[in-house]
Structure 1
């Protein structure tokens, strides 16, 4: 449950600094212990920035520059560590690792771009919608599926290879935009971008407000939705956005906002600087 890191970090600003920082250290140790080289630490940095976004937005220009440089140094350090670890314990060099990883992120997109005609196909769009509703529930359960990342895998790789990979609970990455282009062409990509950016805006804003005002339950729900949205954007799979947990979260958030309508009303469009 990676979204719980938001609650752990939030504890550092909710008056539980010792417990919060102990949790952050424990989280980092787990990442190291499990062999995480970049992604988990990158998410940790992003979570910190979201939790403290209101205070970061109020930094003076000089402090903001120092923080920006620090973030760049940290990211560069994580990339360097990843390359060094691979070069030390892997079969190739650190440069091989970096080139391979960056190339993988675009393979499905360029392969799909070459095969697609770039036209808006209503039948394919309907297939994406039906696929989200009738999702197999797990990676292995989507054997033979034609929506999202699964459809792009079958489009660009041999069927037996894809079947075997899905059966092992593994799938390729970065198929969301490829699926949108294959189904809707440039129009589909633009609509997908607008829709996802709008949803991300309100979820992150809501998460920021909940963090600032100490609403732990809302933080957990919105942080989970934030993680689910990342998967939806990357994989083009939307079943988790309409599963019982998500539907329950929507109901709770709407109901709690309704109850606060006359009092402590959350503001999604303006976040004042913390004192």
Structure 2
């Protein structure tokens, strides 16, 4: 069962690490696991830190977010703290000359790395995080994982409707309040997936033949047209540029709820639902 338990903005996404890469293909592949931390090799180029007001080199090819530095591998407790506070980001550690560096990434685009850096700095234990830049091209950029979607829209919508309903409509209000975004999720990206960028984030898109199987990998089923409409109304954090595959091989526009394509080879967004 996949790590996605809530709808993820993933960069959505528990959810945890970069997609696995064969060590023969890249020196930044995960080679070990210590204290719970995925360990990358010493030959992985993590570049230089951008301290203070230092500007990135225009020739930079990749960026890491350094979330801490310790003697040796950071403690398991620190890892568990980060996993609880930032459960979706791809943490790993490189140990070089006895110095362990907690890293997130790598990311190819500076604006994407800055989005991650800003979020990481909002979490107390990593408020001193810093960007690192490297000229080494990425063979496998990190997939951005973000936390479960906020239910602010859903809560506001439920509260507003409940406050305007007569007392005899309590059952309807209770039904509305029962809608829960945590029942939905996006499939975890895998190596080779097509992706696109929206809202500064990287999103996976799939043909219809892969949509249902990928939801099943997460212990879910493909969402229905009605499910998609409800989720789109409940949050503004869904990617909206592309339609979504839903049950019945329909490509549906999440903004309008209308069917826009039945071309099953089209690579579209996918929304999954807990069965």
Structure-1-length-normalised TM-score: 0.23
Relative to its length, the structure with more strand (as a share) is 2
**TM-score normalised over the length of structure 2:** 0.23
